[in-house]
Structure 1
């Protein structure tokens, strides 16, 4: 294993180890603070972060507004308060050592307002902003305003080139690094484009070389690339270290920090990680963002797959093979199916899937009355956690605050699911089956890596020390 040298990032020399910022309450001030204290870059998730009452207890994010717009304002306020609380915790733990970054998803609801609100109230504590899930052109502008470094997350040289030419060249001195996130292996939302086959992973090496080539054209020879997605043991990436084709490199770990003593996820989630097998992480497109995402293939995802399979195309008028009449809803409004599809529908109804739900693609999916009622309730309770949501048809852009499409029952309320699993009660195994459990595709290695033998869960410091050995 090659010697791992410090890398200059965000104006300081640190270990080339970066904690990945994971969604709703899966990386927080405690985990980030300890990661920075160990000498790397700790990352606080700025996505609906937890805030605390005077007794130090987590404040449940309950929405009381009557309209989506009202609830969206509550969401933004929760996000700012939680982000500030987590940054302060991380700073108190790290004592100014290492680097502290805040991660936001550009497509999350109120992203720009939330990150501005957090940085306004934590001046001098945050070293950098990490941002992906979209094309965050305004990231550099925000970084300039607060004089912090910024770290865009991209999955191709082409994406970074577009960001640079449009905006980032105006704040070149604050670009702390470029995160290359492998779109096939990363956990959570992935950056697969329409031209890439989700079933045909590509090696990251030529993609990193292409990214560095573009960066050199822009004078970014010494700006580090941060390799993310699929990184488990650095001995497996030895050819990337001190490689002149790639240049300065650091490595981001998203999955392994989940299983540390300081990780905020519930113990039941940690236990589940230790039991995963190869293939248990599923690349899917059910997210209401419209992006691909990787998550544990549990009962929740299986239910979404089954729902999509109980699907038939319909026509409002008899045309072609669509001649079989079918009544939808309480009023039994007529639509037309193919005779074969009508047979499928009768079979599903016999199994209890009697509720036909319209999708934006002129299809019907079939669910039980109980599940259909839950879908409707979740859509009504939308709080605008995304800039646009295909599940509820919310858009944060006025005047209509509507994305112009029919709400899609094949998706789900991601805010509800992520909050439920992150804050599951001790011993609540059902929450691990009935909610979205993001994970990288290497998560099965917890069960095979001898470091975790007999259920061993390390501290962040023990994990960082282990990573520095290459294992």
Structure 2
């Protein structure tokens, strides 16, 4: 294994090892500060981060607003308060070493307001901002205003080209690096485009090489590419190190930092990770963002899969083969199915899935009455955590609606991510994870359930393993 050579990132020489920012309160000030203290780049999640009162007690994020817009404003206030709190913790834990970055989703609710509020309130504590889940054109302008570096997350050279030509070329000096996130292997939300087959993973090398060549054409030879998604042992990526075709390269780890002593996730979650098998992480399209995402195939995910499997196309009036009448709802209003689908729907009703819920795609899913009530309640209680939500039809723009029917095949992402990060329930909540998470079970480093400190993990990674 070649020795790792430091890179200058966010204004300082650091190890080319980056902690990936994760979810809601999954990478925080403790974990990111420890990663920076070990000489790398620690990244805390700026997505509805935790905040604390004067006694250090966690402040529950409870919403009192009567409207979605009022709750959305509360969410932004919580987001700013929490991100500033985590930045301060990370700064203290870093002991002046490494760099501290903040991770945000461009499509999270109030992203721009939260960025401005956080970078203003935590001046000098945050050295870089990583941003994906959308096309973050304005991230360069925002970070430059506060003397901060920006790190866009892309999954293709084409995406970076669009960002550069439209916005980033005006803020060249603040571009700290470009994160290439493998859309087939990364955890959380992924950047698969309509032209890519989710069932046919592609080798990342030619895609990253194309990104590097695109960057070089813009005079960005010195700007590092950060490889994210599918990285476990660096020895498996040794040919990327000191590769003149790829130029400066760093590696981002999202899944392995979950299993550290500083990681804030529950012990139940950590034990779950140690027992995963190959295939236990599912690339799916259930997220209310509309993006592909990857999560553990636990009962929460299995229920979503089953919910979508109990689905038939319908017509409001008889048309062609859709001539079989079927009653839906408390009043038994008729819709029209094919005869085959009518028989399927009746079998689901006979099994107790008696509530039919219409989707934006002119289909109906069948769930139990309790599940239907939960779905409706979650949609009503929406707090606007996304810029646009397919599940609740919330939009932070215009009149507060996407103009489309709310989609019951999805879920309230804020509710479940808050629950999984603040409880022991990792069975009935969404667990984002990278597709290599099954390697915890076979990697000898974690034998007998060993959980390292962040310092130990960084040292281990640097050996190639």
Task: Give 1:461's aligned residue.
Answer: 455
Residue-by-residue CA offset, 1:26-75 (whole Å, 9 max, x unaligned): 10000000000110000010000000112212111111110000000010
Q: Deviations over 1:79-127 (max 9, x none)?
A: 0000000000000111321100000000000011111110000111110
* Cα-to-partner distance string for 1:301-353 (whole Å, 9 max, x where unaligned): 11011011111111111110111112221222221111111111111111100
Q: Which residue of 2 aligns with 1:369?
A: 369
State yes or no: 1:414 paired with 2:408: no
Between the aligned partners of 1:309 and 1:461, the Cα distance in structure 2 is 45
CA distance in 2, matches of 1:245, 1:224: 12
Distance 1:16 1:374 in 2: 45
Written as runs of structure 1 = structure 2, the 5 A alignment for 1:223-262 is 223-262=223-262
> Residue 83 of structure 1 aligns with which residue?
83
Partner of 1:211: 211
Taking the aligned partners of 2:367 and 2:334, their CA distance within structure 1 comes to: 19
User: Superposed, which structure 2 residues align to 1:19-418 within 5 Å?
Assistant: 19-398=19-398, 400-418=399-417
2: CA distance, partners of 1:422 / 1:466? 26
**Counterpart Cα distance in 2 of 1:371 and 1:320:** 32
Paired with 1:279 and 1:338, the residues of 2 have a C-alpha distance of: 35
Q: Structure 1 length as normaliser, TM-score? A: 0.98
Distance between the aligned counterparts of 2:322 and 2:250, measured in 1? Answer: 56
CA deviation digits over 1:105-157, x for unaligned, max 9?
00000011111110000111110010000000001100111010000000000
What 5-or-longer segments of structure 2 have no aligned partner? Answer: none
Once residues 210 and 293 of structure 1 are traced to their aligned partners in structure 2, the CA distance between those partners, rounded to angstroms, is: 24
Write out the 4+ residue segments of structure 1 that deviate beyond 4 Å after TM superposition. none
Over the aligned positions, Cα root-mean-square deviation in angstroms equals: 0.7
Once residues 77 and 232 of structure 1 are traced to their aligned partners in structure 2, the CA distance between those partners, rounded to angstroms, is: 36
Structure 1: give runs of 5+ residues left out of the alignment. none
Question: Is the partner of 1:433 in helix, strand or coil?
Answer: coil
Instruction: Find the aligned partners of 1:143 and 1:450 in 2 and give their Cα distance.
Output: 41
Hey, what's the Cα distance between the residues in 2 that align with 1:340 and 1:2? 61
CA–CA separation in structure 1 for the residues paired with 2:208 and 2:315: 47
**Alpha-carbon distance between aligned partners in 2 of 1:312 and 1:37, rounded to the nearest angstrom:** 54
Which residue, out of 427, 431, 442, partners 2:436?
Answer: 442
Secondary structure of the residue aligned to 2:24 is: coil
Cα distance in structure 2, aligned partners of 1:322 and 1:8: 63
Correspondence for 1:451 among 418, 436, 445: 445
The whole-number CA distance in structure 1 between the counterparts of 2:31 and 2:391 is 32
TM-score when normalising by structure 2: 0.99
Partner SS, residue 403 of structure 1: coil
Q: Could you tell me how far apart the structure 2 residues matched to 1:443 and 1:338 are?
A: 42
1:7 maps to which residue? 7
Distance 2:385 2:237 in 1: 36
Give CA deviations for 1:250-298 in whole Å, capped at 9, x if unaligned.
0000000000000011110000000001111110000000100010001
How many residues are treated as equivalent by the alignment?
465
Q: Distance in 1 between matches of 2:185 and 2:336?
A: 42
Name the CA distance, whole Å, in 2 between partners of 1:96 and 1:117: 23
